[in-house]
Chain A
Amino acid sequence: MDRKIRVLVAKPGLDGHDRGAKVVARALRDAGMEVIYTGLHQSPESIVEAAIQEDVDVIGLSLLSGAHMTLFPDVMRLLKENDAEDIMVTCGGIIPDSDAKKLLDLGVSKVFGPGTPTDEIVDYIKNNVEPRE
């Protein structure tokens, strides 16, 4: 069997800073994963819909505009509403520690701060994706 980890890298919100998301997408690809990249300005609805259709194991959210406490909880809520809360969610960007704690409480699996080595992200995903039956 030839199982591959599939990751959706998504940029919700209105900021156009996608350098980080692209660097992460590239690193995950080079680690042998299939990365679905959605591009800029995605709504929580379109992110969750894409995650479902693509049957991804992980959603990686990137946001640098400060709207994470508005948009990330919506993603978590929509995943729940669609019976898709088994999909792991990680996020990165400019996220203060106090917010990071709240996001983890909402079910986000991991918050990666600025300067996180890409190897750390790759390892985290590889070690934490649930094996499927």
Chain B
Amino acid sequence: MDSLTNLLTRVLSGDRRAVARLMTMAENGDAGAREAMAKLHPHTGKAHIVGITGPPGSGKSTLVDKLALEFRRLGKSVGIIAVDPTSPFTGGALLGDRIRMNAIALDRNVFIRSMGSRGHLGGLASKTGDLVRILDAHGKDVILVETVGAGQSEVEIVRTAHTTVIVEVPGLGDDIQAIKAGILEIGDVFVVNKADLGGADETARELDTMLDMNPVDTGWRPPILQTVAKSDTGILEVVDAITSHMDHLKETGNLKDRVREREKTNLLELVRDRVVDSLMENDNERGLEDLVDSIMKYELDPHTAAERFLKPIR
């Protein structure tokens, strides 16, 4: 595959069009993409991957814009992947995170990519992982992955990061909401954005109390920082906290554990996708539909149906 080698050479030499094209191929599950990603793998592992999540409207994109600017001031190159939901009804998506990323739009050392969550069967995290790897191989020092924190797949994406930043805003609900969302366990840095609104101190205090009750002590106490991203308030402190977290991971040896967990999750996800794909090919969709019919007629229970569906690879 000559054109593929050519594409890879261009990616590694910093050609932005090639980077963008390979990302598209990876997203589409192109046959060539798998081969390309394999060759790219040895060139990855240098970037600091930072996941940023929080409820819609909490100011994630603005914060990402400002964080990127701050990292640039420190001389680091930055990659950004902004994931927005795909409509389950039409398969289309309106990706609007760029609207708030104007400060860095023309900086050649920043690469921003918007991504629709599409209808992946749980495969979203591994697709995002591919895009992260491409930016990593492209030589970006820091990669910010932004997602709406509203579901399992989003949580999985941020779990693939070295450092996870949880963005909250005042007045979105009480401390019980924070427990329900399951964010207390995955956050390494907590940001209360829009802190100029009333109730920011209270939100920060509630988070603090909740974190006191975290069952596992990793030696890292997540800081809770207040920002007003729109007016550049508190951004430097967030960058400091992100950097300190990486230092902590390196010093304690926890970095290796995190990366290992990430690779394992990713591998399992790929295996799961491939198994489902191959079953769909062998048994075709008709077999699946027949099983669903049997379940609806109460001839089969779902577990037995699953067992039958898996038969070809047992």
Contacts and interface: CB of A to CB of B under 8 A. Distances in A.
Interface of A: 1-4, 6, 25-26, 28-39, 43, 45-46, 49-50, 52-55, 82-84, 133
A84 B17 contact: yes
Contacts of B74: none
B91 to A, nearest CB: 4
Interface residues of B, number: 32
Given A53-B111, A55-B20, A55-B24, A25 B91 contact: no
Nearest to A27: B92
B29 interface: yes
A53 B23 CA distance: 9
Nearest to A51: B20
11 contacts: A1-B29, A1-B31, A2-B118, A31-B92, A32-B92, A37-B96, A37-B98, A37-B99, A46-B102, A50-B112, A82-B17
B92 A30 contact: yes
Contacts of A29: 87, 90, 92-94
Contact of B17 (A30, A46, A52): A52
A82 B20 CA distance: 13
Contact of A55 (B21, B99, B106): B21
B40 interface: no
A46 B106 contact: yes
Contacts, number: 86
B276 to A, nearest CB: 14
B111 A34 contact: no
Closest 3 CB pairs of A and B: A39-B99, A55-B20, A29-B92
A49 B93 contact: no
Given A1-B30, A35-B92, A50 B87 contact: no
A30 B92 CA distance: 6
Interface string B14-32: 0011001101100011110
Contact of B98 (A38, A55, A82): A38
A37 B114 CA distance: 10
A71 to B, nearest CB: 16
Given A36-B114, A54-B114, A45 B106 contact: yes
B17 A25 contact: no
Interface in B76-102: 86-87, 90-96, 98-100, 102
Nearest to A47: B105
Contacts of B24: 6, 55
Contact of A35 (B20, B29, B95): B95
Nearest to A57: B24
A6 B105 CA distance: 19
A2 B92 contact: no
B262 interface: no
A46 B105 CA distance: 6
Contacts of A49: 105-106
Interface in B3-47: 3, 16-17, 20-21, 23-24, 28-31
Contacts of A38: 98-99
Contacts of B16: 52-53
Nearest to A3: B28
A55 to B, nearest CB: 4
Nearest to A26: B94
Interface string B105-125: 110000111101010000000
Contacts of B113: 53-54
B17 A83 contact: yes
A22 to B, nearest CB: 9
Most buried by A among B30, B87, B93, B100: B93
